[in-house]
A and B are shown apart, each in its own frame.
Chain A
Amino acid sequence: MGEMDKRYEQIEHLSDVGLRAYGKSLEELFENAGEGMFSIMCDLAKVSPLSRREIDIVERENVSVEQLLISWLENLLYLFEVEKMLFSSFKVHSVKVQSDKSNKDGREGDEKSKEARVKAEIFGEKIDFTKHEIIVAIKAPTYHTLEVKRDSLSGSWVANVIFDI
C-alpha cells in the first residue's frame, strides 16, 4: 500500500493505544477510523461480514466533528460489548456536522438545525472464540490529543485518536 492509499495506522502512546485514520471525505474517515479501531482488537481478516447493523447517531447539541467521531466510535464499542459483535466492514452514508468555521468543514450544513448526524451500515459477526482472538478490548475512545484535520490542499481528512484499554 502506498503512502497515499493508507487508510489507518497505529500510533505510539505509552500506556494506551493510538490510531491515525485517513479519508478523502469525512465519511471515508469515519469508515477507516471504525475499521482501525477493530483492527487493534482483533485480526479483521477472520471477521466475516455476516451480520448487518444500521447506525444512526443524532447529536442535538452543537457538536464538533471531533465529538461526533468519538460518538461514532463509542457506538461501535457499545455493540462490541453488549452484542458481542466484531465488525470488519463499514459503509458510512453521511456525516453531517455544522458548517461553522471552527471545524473547517467547508461543506454546506443545514443552517436551521443544530443537529449533527452519522448514518452508516456496518457488517461483522458475533465473537466466536474458536476463530477470533481478542488481542485487547478497547474500553473507550478518548479526547486526549484528539484531532480531526482537513488538508487545505488535497481536501482529505486525518484523525488521531487515543483509546483507553
Chain B
Amino acid sequence: MYELSFNIPKGVGSTGKIKLSNSEMRKVFTEGVNWAIKNGYGWEEDKYFVDDQGCMDGANPDYVSKQAIDRGNDQVGTLGSGNHFLEIQKVDEIYDEKVARVLGLEKDQITVMIHSGSRGLGHQICSDFIKVMQQSSSKYGIVLRDKQLACAPLNSPEGKKYYAAMACAVNYAMTNRHCLTHWVRLSLERVFKKSSRDLGLELIYDVSHNIAKMEVHNVDGVKKQVCVHRKGATRAFGPGHESITSKYRDIGQPVIIPGDMGRYSYILVGTEMAMTESFGSTCHGAGRLLSRAKAKKKIKGSELKEELFRKKGIIVIAGSLSGLAEEAPDAYKDVSKVVDVTHNAGISRKVARLVPLGVLKG
C-alpha cells in the first residue's frame, strides 16, 4: 500500500507525473487509451477491455476551452479526491463460476479497483457548456426546473459541440485510469520483484459511468438510434451485443460497482433484460446515506482508520482524515442491498463480491 501511495499521484493540488503540452492533450482527447499505450502506459491488449476499445468517437478538441486544458494538463494519471479511490481487494464470494472464469476471477484472488474520472478538465467542460446552454435552453423554448439543468437539442450546433467536447473528456478519463493502472502495475512489480505479466495483472474491464452515448435501442418495437445519458447509472449490455469485446460477448458486458471502503464492491454482468427494461443500464454505486457534513460530525477520520484496521484488517492511506470521515462506510448505503435490487430486477447479474484489503484515498 505504501508503495502504491508513493507512486500514485492523488492530484489534489499536487502535480501528476505527466505534464502534457497542448498538442499532446489533443492527442489524448482524440486517441484515448491508444495514446497511453503508445506512450508506454499499458499493454497493447488492454484496449480490448475498455468500453469502445478505449476511444470514444466524435471527439473534437477544438471545443475544449483553454481553461479546461490548463486544469487537465497535469492531472493525467492522478486519482483525485471526493469519492475517488484505489483499492486492493480480495474476491470473497463467487456467484457465477462460469462467468467469473471468463472474466479471469476466482475465489481469494487479489484484485485492484480504481475509481477516477476526467478530473478538473471534465468539470471545466461542464461549466463552460452550462454557460452556453443557459442561453440555448431559452432559444429553443425549453423550460427546466433546476438552473443546473441546461440543455439544447442534440442536433443543434450547441448540442453537437457539447457532445464533441464530452467525448474528449471521456477519452481523457479513460487515459487517466489507464495511466493509474500502469503505476499500479509498476508498484506491484517493485514490491513483488516480478514482472506485472508474471503477477497476472491483466485488466478485467474499464467502464465509464456518468456518460452519454449514441446507441441503437428498441423503442416501442422500432430500432432507433438514441442518446442514452447514464447519470448515476452504468451501461450493462446483455450477452451477444456487438459492442462487447469478443472475449466477453457471450457473458454480457462487465459492470463494476464500487461500494464503500469497509464492506464490499461487486462485479456484475449486463443482461438481456437490461436491454428491454432500462436501455442496457444498471446502478452505478451504493449511493450516499449521510451528507458529508453529517458524516464528518458523526465520524472521526482517525478513529475510522484505526477501527478499519483493528476490526477488518483494512489498511487505509488517505490524504486527509476529515476527507476520510466524509467517505466512511456508514455514510453510504449498503451496496449489497443496492446490487441485490438490480440482480433481482434482472437488469444485471452478480458475478463476484470483492472485499477491500487496502484503500488509497486522495
Residues of A within 8 A of B (CB): 10-17, 61, 66-67, 70, 74, 78, 80-82, 84, 86, 127, 129, 132-137, 139-140, 142-146, 164-165
Contact = CB atoms under 8 A, between A and B. Distances in A.
Nearest to A13: B291
Nearest to A66: B147
B123 interface: yes
B313 interface: no
Contacts of A165: 81-82, 292
B12 interface: yes
Nearest to B117: A139
Contacts of A16: 292
Given A12-B291, A14-B288, A142-B148, A135 B320 contact: yes
A143 B137 CA distance: 14
A137 B147 contact: no
A89 B17 CA distance: 31
Contacts of B146: 143-145
A158 B119 CA distance: 30
Contacts of B67: 78
B80 interface: yes
Leading 9 A-B pairs by shortest Cβ distance? A143-B147, A144-B148, A139-B123, A127-B13, A143-B148, A140-B123, A135-B322, A165-B82, A137-B81
A74 B323 contact: no
Nearest to B126: A140
A165 B322 CA distance: 14
Contacts of B293: 10-12, 17
B301 to A, nearest CB: 9
Interface stretch (B127-135, B156-164, B214-222): B127-135
Contacts of B61: none
Interface string B303-320: 000000000000000011
Contacts of B124: 78, 140
Nearest to A127: B13
A74 B129 CA distance: 13
A12 B294 contact: yes
B358 interface: no
A134 B291 contact: no
Nearest to A144: B148
A133 B12 CA distance: 10
B71 A136 contact: no
A137 B322 contact: no
B319 A134 contact: yes
Contact of A164 (B123, B131, B134, B290): B123
Given A81-B120, A145-B146, A140 B13 contact: no
A13 B331 CA distance: 13
Contacts of A86: 13
Contact of B320 (A84, A133, A139): A133
B362 interface: yes
Contacts of A81: 13, 71, 120
B127 A74 contact: yes
Nearest to B135: A61
15 contacts: A14-B290, A14-B291, A74-B127, A78-B67, A78-B71, A86-B13, A135-B320, A136-B82, A136-B320, A136-B322, A137-B81, A139-B123, A143-B150, A144-B148, A146-B148
B311 to A, nearest CB: 25
B14 interface: yes
Nearest to A40: B292
A65 to B, nearest CB: 13
A10 B322 CA distance: 15
